Structure 1
């Protein structure tokens, strides 16, 4: 190992250690309060940490390399392992009608959120990141898309904060509407899976309706996660073409390596009989990696900026949340 590599490794250790400690704290909080998903707690901890007096110096100094490493490299590794949750057999079991409506919801929400973001003139990559997070799988999807379009950590701050806020609101709002809307347990699970952003938030919301509702919710949700690969791949192609005229620009690969890994993981889960112990171990590692990554992303959130310059992003986020919930409810009632 070269001296430069050793120096780089040492520089990331403080930030990675902070992210790891935060993940452990979040695990403790989530264990004590099961209604709070671990990954949601990690984002909130990152946001709170960044607002504490004197933390700005640490975040811009000794912790910066490690938090950037966590929010980028660990996020990509976690997304790859997320593919092991997906089985094409389970997805096929939904039936063509449910499968096609779920894909349609993702695409309509993505296009609608992106259009709203452009209409309200959100800066930089924010419209794309908001669209990805709200339509597919929350902060994890935002991190994956950011890796393709080379978005800076601060550019991810508003989308991550807002998709976490709306997903957390869903944990309390959707169950309150369950009985007034006259949904059965399975319909409620379908609605949650199609309309809530993060996998952990889906579990926290659907589990109150029982095991059958939770199973349906997870399969529908993971079908949405499957859309991460093609949407990110298309974004990679667009970004590559956009950089063609810029001779000094580093053009991203047509299909990013971690997206290819995500697809391979899905295929392995679908066709290779993996032992339960292997799947459980991969799930623990994947959760830990995403927890650390989301703490890093949360620590980039500037609350003052979000409440002032970020009001447009707030409007886009809330409208997107209503859009996907309404589309998902319509799909459930038509099925």
Structure 2
């Protein structure tokens, strides 16, 4: 069994290493490059049958990577940032989720699962949030792939656009960092954009972004509850008293992302001071490598032919939301800080 995994794991690692090599000579994030490489290989050569089992483990590596990133959530730094940051994060996350859901369902008529995954990815922490919510609602693979690809497209665009806009508007470093942390999607691009401006901007961007990332567990649970309740009502077993409630709880727990529990546990351990600086650095490095394997595998399984069937609507939903939330968010941040 283990031997059958090795060819696929070797393929994931090979794509990851090539992505790192390219990132060392090109101004691009290595995780984004890993997905793009996987996408090219998957849509030209395809996935050889010998490697399918190993490639299929990419979800495991992603979940494990998410758990390990809990070590980077510094609760004392979040608390030190004051209630203003917490209120801004709560407001942006809520506004983004509601706007994407509304646009998806009402204006662009996108199916509920895809809209929810787009909302999570845009509102919290990119592909990690897409996967977390996908697991909690048992989403279709095609919806996961399209939402992840859409989010990554905007990760690449905002990584370039945000520093340019910040420079054009002459934003102070702290304002830029808070704005980027509040409204960009994934942690990698936020970090890169922040430190591309200055060390101060980078520190604030990372602090705010990690505060936002902490919402992943709450949102995953909320979506699990909403979708489980909806499925219970559709099946006509919502009026059965205690038995129905137990059935609802079972449906919530079954798709619930168990790795979120691990994420919270790692956050707790790290913030209790039980890990040394070297330990934290090792966990961060391990998470980065796991994400590299996971994103290469995700790219391999994306089928452009399937994405074309969905069309441009999800991209427009995220674009409209980003323009609205980032514009209003910048005004609020400038007024608040």
Q: Which one of 180, 183, 194 corresponds to residue 195 of structure 1?
A: 183
Task: Specify the alignment match of 2:322 in structure 1.
Answer: 321
Task: Specify the alignment match of 1:272 in structure 2.
Answer: 273
Q: Which one of 28, 32, 52 corresponds to residue 40 of structure 1?
A: 32
Q: 1:67 to 1:151 in 2, by over 3 A?
A: farther
Residues 124 and 155 in structure 1, CA contact (< 8 A), matched pair in contact too: no
Q: 1:68 to 1:162 in 2, by over 3 A?
A: same
In the aligned structure 2, how far is the partner of 1:125 from the partner of 1:13?
Answer: 33
Q: 1:325 to 1:32 in 2, by over 3 A?
A: same
1:223 aligns with 2:211: yes
Q: 1:121 to 1:15 in 2, by over 3 A?
A: farther
Residues 142 and 306 in structure 2, CA contact (< 8 A), matched pair in contact too: no
State the Cα deviation string for residues 273-303 of structure 1 (Å, max 9, x = none).
4211111111111111112112222223233
Task: Specify the alignment match of 1:78 in structure 2.
Answer: 65
Q: TM-score, normalised by structure 1?
A: 0.89
Offset at residue 208 of structure 1 (A): 2.0
1:88 aligns with 2:48: no
State the Cα deviation string for residues 141-177 of structure 1 (Å, max 9, x = none).
1112222222243321111111111111111111111
In the aligned structure 1, how far is the partner of 2:19 from the partner of 2:141?
Answer: 21
State the Cα deviation string for residues 4-30 of structure 1 (Å, max 9, x = none).
xx3xx4443333322222222222222
Q: Tell me the secondary structure at the aligned position of residue 46 of structure 1.
A: helix
Task: Specify the alignment match of 1:298 in structure 2.
Answer: 299
In the aligned structure 2, how far is the partner of 1:282 from the partner of 1:209?
Answer: 26
Residues 105 and 112 in structure 2, CA contact (< 8 A), matched pair in contact too: no
Which stretch of the first structure deviates more once superposed, 252-261 or 205-214? Answer: 252-261
Offset at residue 124 of structure 1 (A): 5.3
State the Cα deviation string for residues 88-137 of structure 1 (Å, max 9, x = none).
10111211012111111011101111221112222351111100111111
Q: 1:47 to 1:320 in 2, by over 3 A?
A: farther
Task: Specify the alignment match of 1:106 in structure 2.
Answer: 93
Q: Number of aligned residue pairs: give it.
A: 322
Offset at residue 258 of structure 1 (A): 0.7
Residues 101 and 115 in structure 2, CA contact (< 8 A), matched pair in contact too: yes
In the aligned structure 2, how far is the partner of 1:62 from the partner of 1:322?
Answer: 44
State the Cα deviation string for residues 172-197 of structure 1 (Å, max 9, x = none).
11111113323111111111111111
In the aligned structure 2, how far is the partner of 1:10 from the partner of 1:211?
Answer: 46
Q: Which one of 121, 134, 137 corresponds to residue 146 of structure 1?
A: 134
Task: Specify the alignment match of 1:161 in structure 2.
Answer: 149
Q: Which one of 167, 178, 186 corresponds to residue 166 of structure 2?
A: 178
In the aligned structure 1, how far is the partner of 2:143 from the partner of 2:114?
Answer: 7
Unpaired runs of at least 5, structure 1: 1-5
Which stretch of the first structure deviates more once superposed, 317-326 or 168-177? Answer: 317-326
Task: Specify the alignment match of 1:129 in structure 2.
Answer: 117
Q: 1:268 to 1:327 in 2, by over 3 A?
A: farther
Q: Tell me the secondary structure at the aligned position of residue 125 of structure 1.
A: helix
State the Cα deviation string for residues 41-80 of structure 1 (Å, max 9, x = none).
222222222222x31xx26x3433333321x221111111
Unpaired runs of at least 5, structure 2: 238-246
Q: 1:225 to 1:123 in 2, by over 3 A?
A: same
In the aligned structure 1, how far is the partner of 2:297 from the partner of 2:101?
Answer: 25
Residues 228 and 251 in structure 2, CA contact (< 8 A), matched pair in contact too: yes
